[in-house]
């Protein structure tokens, strides 16, 4: 019989795992030690739907859209399938249930427990229960008789018992197993099974064999064995047709027998030899799903294919079973029919995308509400835990910083299901019932008043769907599409209507972030909108109903603020997005937690985000979407990374680092504009880091001969860093780049000067459009005043020939004129004669530069001299003496050549002299500028007050 063993995949965390198929065979359903039930559409499904049922899930059963689970909270729960909605608790035990099973019709559930009892519960009415007592140890497994008359069970006391369900009595008992005191110590789970249809045979795994007992007489009629089986058989399962029996052993062996011939027809081995703890047949009988104690899921495909396909005619089972006692009463005319071909799906009239189910409202930082032990809130302030079991119904509040407040234990008599925690208060809410209204309770522990608690009843029919706390306020979103604002002391302040059903909310300081359904979504998407409000004295809406971006076919899983107050959120694909205030309040992805997950089933549960330092605080959940409450989970820190292109290269890494630094330090500007004090040292350090990265990228672009890219990077630099870039370009012999960078530096200096507040111009009061300078020339305050703010109008389009005639540019201060202009003006001053008023061609200045001002006015333009200029003044006579026939341009070129040959010590001496002179010149320049402006303003005022004759004499 050909059979293909598919590669196993991770399903749950290490521990006991169970598996079953749904009635249609479309889904594989598993449960495991992590407390989750996973619904797989196939073995290759990398993103199965999951339902959290408890801390641990020991067993499950599925029939007719009802999913029953036995969990570690001592209950047997029921959920709808495949939606996974909780449908109540069927029964409870004093300890955990170990195994559950449906009867053939799906109307009853049998459950065995570690408290030695077996219960049979009606699904329609859980109050109708039958308790079977008689075992002296924990129950291992249970199985219904297909006729719903008997129930078989195995126990750690070594007995296999058949019960009469109606009489609640033991029909027969066989001492077949080795005795143990607990299920975990049992050598075999002994998962027995009745044969389908008529149930004439009961299969019981006993050591390395399977015993078959006849229903009614309960005689041992046959034994199925295999010489290759050397370890205990753990579980057995009948095929849907009842012909084949599959068994899984402790050693990982998978064996299939033909019950008619009692021959082994298939042998397979677990790929790693782990214990097989559960088996399930596909409804078609062609596949077997199995799980092991490591939480992995496997599949055998093609089981019974050859036998089934060869049976093209009806073959009575009596012809192969032999004696009549092996024949079921209802099997007289039964056959093994070939698998029916699947029917073609019926297409609806509308063939477009179908509407998506809207995401339900949730509280960020909380685990599902149906759990008995759960996190009601985990944020940067503390943890709120909820307990709802037979022993206690309470809420525990724990603070990360005990200086805020001591831990609290609150009685949850109202059944609160939602909570939020801040450094001022604890906010709780419970849903309403037919008799009681939905309530909002606040414990204002930071109040100086003795009465620190207040409570509000919502209007009838209005339930709390989401809540959050801020600085001095509390917000509640309700089912009536209302958002109600309260003061922290309980005063009702504002209320307004939401555009759609709320999904979740979050608060930080004076900011309130609300996410809601803005429209009906299609094809698995979620159409969410977001509002960001600032609840300060001047209330305003920062984001009004903009769509919230999500990954394709994902939903919102966490919403909140960074510790610095920037909104951010996480979707179900693990993508973390943060608000970029500097780019029009857009959302930028800053991290993908799935990239650090080792398995598709692993998740990171986010609890906090920090911008300085850059940290994403989250809890790793192996094979689960939520962490358990006990033991307390450890918090991991993930780094941020912008999804830029080619981040494996040096260029991409520096670009990602720079823009991440810019994004994560935008909060300084927001906090400053909102009136908060900021850490100026940290802000300066971040700016320094960004400029260093720009300079590194500039150097890399120079090495790659990307000069245009260098200019683009210079646009992002500050004025001082552009000066460093000019020096780097000059030393790299990139004269054209240095020239362009010089103009960018002048432009930035001009912008800085324009941003500075200017003193009033009293000359406009005089109404005189003529300059007041005694020389009759227009007054020049700075050489940058005559340059436009756009680089297009600057002389950048000069030919290469003209550029080559200019002297080499050394890195100068951005507010200074070029070296050629400075030296040309100095030479012109020495060579000026009344016979030749026209300067030479080499000394001519650009058309946009005005004629030089008077010495009194040039005090504002007086600039410090560089180390090279000081050296040139000392050695100019020697250079002219060596080259008497050269012009000023050649003198500068010769001087620069000699200066480059100087040793490092000689250059350092000149630079030290340069910095001393620069400090002295700057101090003197500021004093001269102030005195000159003061004299000029006084002169203008006096001229305004005099008539023409007096003005002439003055």
DSSP-derived secondary structure for 598-632: SSTT-EEEEEEEETTTTEEEEEEETTSSS--SSSP
pLDDT class for 873, splitting at 50, 70, 90?
A: confident
What is the average pLDDT score of the chain?
A: 81
Q: What is the distance between the alpha carbons of residues 469 and 680, in angstroms, rounded to a whole number? A: 29
According to the model, what pLDDT value does residue 2 have?
64
pLDDT class for 179, splitting at 50, 70, 90?
A: confident
Instruction: Decide if pLDDT at 349 tops 80.
Output: no
CA trace torsion 766, 771, 772, 778 (10° rounding): 150
Give the residue-averaged pLDDT of 184-200: 87
DSSP per residue, 534-598: E-SSS-EEEEEEEE----TT--EEEEEE-TTS-EEEEETT-EEEEEEGGGTSEEEEEEEGGGG-S
Q: Which of 198-202, 887-891, 911-915 has the lowest mean pLDDT?
A: 911-915
Helices (H), 718-797: 719-731, 735-755, 763-766
Span 25-48, pLDDT tens digits: 999 999 999 889 999 988 888 888
Span 765-817, pLDDT tens digits: 444 444 443 334 443 333 223 333 333 333 333 333 343 333 333 444 443 33
pTM above 0.85, yes or no: no
Q: Look up residue 480 and give its two tokens.
A: 């009536």
Q: Which of 72-76, 364-368, 845-849 has the lowest mean pLDDT?
A: 845-849
pLDDT class for 599, splitting at 50, 70, 90?
A: confident
According to the model, what pLDDT value does residue 926 have?
55
Q: What is the distance between the alpha carbons of residues 31 and 18, in angstroms, rounded to a whole number? A: 5
pLDDT class for 340, splitting at 50, 70, 90?
A: very low
Helices (H), 266-425: 305-310, 318-321
pLDDT class for 874, splitting at 50, 70, 90?
A: confident
Partners of 570 in the beta sheet? 558, 576
- Taking Cα atoms as reference points, which of 472, 489, 378 lies closest to residue 423? 472
Span 205-230, pLDDT tens digits: 999 999 999 998 999 999 999 888 88
Span 122-169, pLDDT tens digits: 998 888 889 998 898 899 999 999 988 999 999 998 999 999 999 889
Question: How crowded is residue 54: how many other Cβ atoms within 10 Å of its Cβ?
Answer: 25
Question: Does a cis peptide bond (omega within 30 degrees of 0) precede residue 82?
Answer: yes
According to the model, what pLDDT value does residue 673 have?
83
735-755 and 719-731 helices, crossing angle to 10°: 170
According to the model, what pLDDT value does residue 937 have?
58
Structural domains in the chain, sorted by start:
13-301 (2.130.10.10), 663-749 (no CATH)
């Amino acid at each position: 019989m050909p059979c293909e063993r598919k590669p196993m995949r991770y399903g749950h965390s290490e521990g006991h795992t169970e598996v079953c198929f749904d009635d249609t065979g479309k889904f594989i359903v598993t449960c495991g030690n992590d407390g989750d039930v996973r619904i797989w559409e196939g073995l290759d499904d990398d993103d199965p739907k999951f339902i959290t049922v408890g801390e641990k899930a020991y067993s499950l059963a599925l029939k007719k859209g009802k999913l029953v689970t036995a969990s570690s909270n001592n209950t047997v729960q029921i959920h709808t399938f495949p939606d996974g909605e909780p449908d109540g608790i069927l029964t409870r035990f004093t300890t955990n249930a170990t195994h559950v099973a449906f009867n053939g019709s799906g109307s009853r559930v049998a459950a065995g427990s570690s408290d030695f009892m077996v219960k049979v519960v009606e699904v329609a009415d859980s109050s109708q229960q039958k308790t079977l007592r008689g075992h002296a140890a924990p129950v291992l497994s249970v199985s219904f008789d297909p006729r719903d008359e008997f129930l078989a069970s195995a126990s750690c006391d070594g007995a296999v018992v058949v019960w009469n369900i109606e009489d609640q009595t033991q029909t027969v008992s066989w001492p077949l197993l080795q005795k143990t005191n607990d299920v975990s110590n049992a050598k075999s789970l002994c998962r027995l099974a009745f044969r389908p249809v008529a149930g004439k045979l009961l299969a019981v795994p006993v050591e390395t064999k399977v015993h078959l007992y006849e229903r009614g007489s309960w005689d041992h009629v046959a034994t199925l064995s295999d010489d290759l089986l050397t370890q205990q058989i753990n579980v057995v399962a009948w095929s849907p047709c009842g012909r084949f029996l599959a068994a899984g052993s402790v050693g990982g062996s998978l064996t299939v027998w033909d019950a008619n011939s009692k021959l082994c027809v298939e042998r397979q081995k677990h790929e790693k030899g782990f214990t097989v703890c559960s088996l399930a047949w596909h409804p078609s009988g062609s596949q077997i799903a199995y799980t092991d104690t490591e939480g992995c899921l496997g599949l055998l495909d093609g089981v019974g294919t050859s036998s089934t396909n060869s049976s093209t005619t009806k073959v009575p089972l009596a012809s192969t079973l032999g004696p009549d006692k092996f024949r079921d009463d209802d099997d007289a005319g039964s056959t093994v029919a070939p698998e029916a071909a699947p029917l073609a799906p019926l297409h609806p009239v509308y063939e477009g995308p179908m509407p998506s189910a809207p995401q339900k409202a949730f509280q960020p930082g909380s685990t599902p509400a149906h759990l008995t032990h759960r996190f009601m809130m985990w944020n940067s302030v503390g943890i709120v835990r909820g307990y709802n079991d037979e022993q206690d119904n309470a809420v525990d509040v724990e603070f990360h910083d005990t200086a805020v407040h001591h831990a609290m234990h609150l009685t949850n008599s109202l059944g609160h299901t939602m909570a939020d925690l801040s450094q001022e208060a604890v906010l709780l809410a419970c849903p309403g019932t037919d008799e009681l209204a939905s309530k909002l309770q606040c414990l204002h522990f930071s109040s100086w008043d003795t009465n620190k608690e207040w409570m509000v009843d919502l209007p009838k029919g209005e339930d709390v769907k989401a809540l959050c706390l801020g600085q001095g306020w509390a917000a509640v979103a309700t089912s009536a599409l209302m958002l109600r604002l309260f003061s922290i002391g309980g005063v009702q302040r504002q209320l307004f209507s939401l555009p759609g059903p709320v999904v979740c909310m979050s608060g930080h300081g004076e900011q309130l972030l609300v996410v809601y359904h803005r429209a009906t979504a299609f094809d698995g998407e979620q159409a969410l909108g977001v509002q960001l409000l600032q609840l300060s004295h001047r209330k305003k809406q920062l984001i009004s109903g903009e769509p919230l971006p999500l990954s394709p076919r994902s939903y919102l899983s966490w919403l909140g603020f960074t510790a610095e107050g920037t909104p951010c959120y996480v979707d179900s694909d693990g993508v973390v997005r943060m608000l970029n205030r500097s780019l029009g309040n857009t959302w930028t992805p800053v991290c993908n937690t799935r990239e650090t997950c080792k398995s598709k089933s692993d998740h990171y549960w986010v609890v906090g985000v920090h911008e300085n330092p850059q940290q994403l605080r989250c809890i790793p959940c192996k094979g689960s979407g939520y962490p358990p409450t006990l033991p307390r989970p450890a918090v991991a820190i993930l780094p941020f990374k912008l999804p830029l292109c080619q981040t494996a290269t040096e260029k991409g890494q520096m670009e990602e680092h720079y823009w991440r630094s810019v994004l994560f330090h935008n909060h300084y500007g927001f906090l400053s504009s909102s009136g908060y004090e900021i850490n100026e040292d940290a802000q300066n350090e971040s700016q320094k880091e960004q400029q260093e990265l720009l300079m590194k990228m500039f150097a890399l672009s120079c090495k790659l001969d990307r000069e245009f890219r260098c200019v683009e990077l210079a646009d992002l630099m500050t004025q001082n860093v552009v000066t460093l870039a000019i020096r780097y370009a000059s030393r790299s012999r990139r004269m054209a780049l240095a020239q362009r960078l010089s103009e960018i530096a002048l432009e930035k200096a001009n912008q800085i000067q324009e941003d500075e507040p200017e003193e009033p111009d009293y000359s406009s009061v005089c109404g005189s459009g003529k300059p007041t300078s005694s020389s009759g020339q227009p007054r020049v305050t700075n050489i940058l005043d005559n340059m436009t703010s756009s680089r297009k109008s600057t002389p950048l389009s000069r030919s290469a020939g003209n550029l080559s005639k200019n002297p080499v540019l050394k890195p100068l201060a951005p507010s200074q004129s070029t070296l050629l202009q400075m030296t040309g003006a100095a030479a012109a001053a020495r060579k000026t004669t009344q016979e030749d008023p026209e300067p030479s061609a080499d000394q001519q200045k650009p058309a946009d530069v005005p004629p030089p001002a008077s010495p009194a006015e040039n005090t504002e333009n007086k600039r410090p001299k560089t180390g090279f200029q000081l050296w040139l003044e000392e050695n100019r006579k020697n250079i002219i003496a060596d080259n008497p026939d050269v012009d000023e341009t050649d003198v500068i070129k010769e001087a620069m050549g000699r200066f480059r040959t100087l040793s490092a010590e000689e250059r350092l001496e000149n630079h030290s002299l340069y910095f001393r002179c620069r400090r002295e010149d700057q101090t003197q320049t500021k004093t001269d500028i102030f005195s000159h402006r003061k004299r000029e303003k006084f002169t203008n005022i006096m001229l305004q007050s005099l008539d023409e004759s007096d003005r002439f004499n003055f």
